[in-house]
Amino acid sequence: MMYFRLILFIFLLYQVSAKCPDIISRSGWNASPPGDVTFLRENPPSYIVVHHSATKSCNSKQDCIPLVKSIQNSHINDKKWSDIGYNFLIGGDGNIYEGRGWGIRGAHSVPYNKRSLGICLLGNFEIDNPHNNQLKALEDLLYCARTTNKISENYRLIGHGQRSSTLCPGKNLYNVIKTWPHFDPHPQ
């Protein structure tokens, strides 16, 4: 009986944890600490803004970590932001890297920063295609966020360029997300 309860407990624990993919924490990519932290005004937020990094892509943790780190350096040193702009980044290695994380206001899409999470897929998708494992990681992260109440249940998925004059997130990525269920063709 005790063993049965133990197995049931482990099973339930697995069910809860199975909703969310592993996320490489800031310490996992040697992030510099944020200069300042502001929380989202609307939390859980109703928008997810998808970006690309418009850089080379990366296919292993060994390649992706320096790329994430270089994006943080550029956002802090060149753009003078307090931290890496995005809430999460996803490599061509299929790993999710924590940027500002959940509930924190990002710097990635001016009209939406207060009420969205910004997720950046590493690569240039005007030229290349996003990797399948990269898209799967994005889907898993969105599923996790919705089922753990970190984004609104009826969240809207948009590409950066829908409200700003930018090619971001690149046509090859945009063409994928616009077929996904929560995509909003006319964001407000």
Query: Residue 109 is which amino acid?
Result: S
Task: Using the rule CB under 5 A, give the single segment among 5-13, 44-52, 128-136, 137-145 that binds Zn ion.
Answer: 44-52
Contacting residue, 51, 75, 105, 146, with Zn ion by CB under 5 A? 51
Contacting residue, 58, 142, 144, 168, with Zn ion by CB under 5 A? 168
∠ CA 71-179-153 to the nearest 5 degrees? 80
Task: Using the rule CB under 5 A, give the single segment among 31-39, 45-53, 87-95, 128-136 that binds Zn ion.
Answer: 45-53
| Residues in Cβ contact with 103 at an 8 Å cutoff, skipping those fewer than 6 apart | 39, 40, 43, 150
Site string for Zn ion, 1-40 (x = CB under 5 A): ----------------------------------------
> Please, what is the minimum distance in Å from the beta carbon of residue 136 to Zn ion?
21
- Residue that is written with structure tokens 């992706």 in the block: 64
By CB under 5 A, tell whether 119 contacts Zn ion: no
Site for Zn ion in 81-100 (CB under 5 A): none
Task: Using the rule CB under 5 A, give the single segment among 13-21, 57-65, 77-85, 154-162 that binds Zn ion.
Answer: 154-162
The whole-angstrom separation of Cα 86 and Cα 183 is: 19
- Residue that is written with structure tokens 């077929």 in the block: 179
**Toward Zn ion, which CB reaches closer, 129 or 164?**
164
**Toward Zn ion, which CB reaches closer, 69 or 163?**
163
Cα dist from 146 to 55, 62, 126, 167, 177, whole Å: 29, 30, 28, 27, 17
Interstrand relation of 116-121 and 88-90 (parallel, antiparallel or unpaired): parallel
By CB under 5 A, tell whether 156 contacts Zn ion: no
> Please, what is the minimum distance in Å from the beta carbon of residue 99 to Zn ion?
13
* Strand locations in the chain (E): 23-24, 47-52, 88-90, 96-98, 116-121, 156-159
The number of residues that bind Zn ion (CB under 5 A) is: 3
Contacts to Zn ion by CB under 5 A: 51, 160, 168
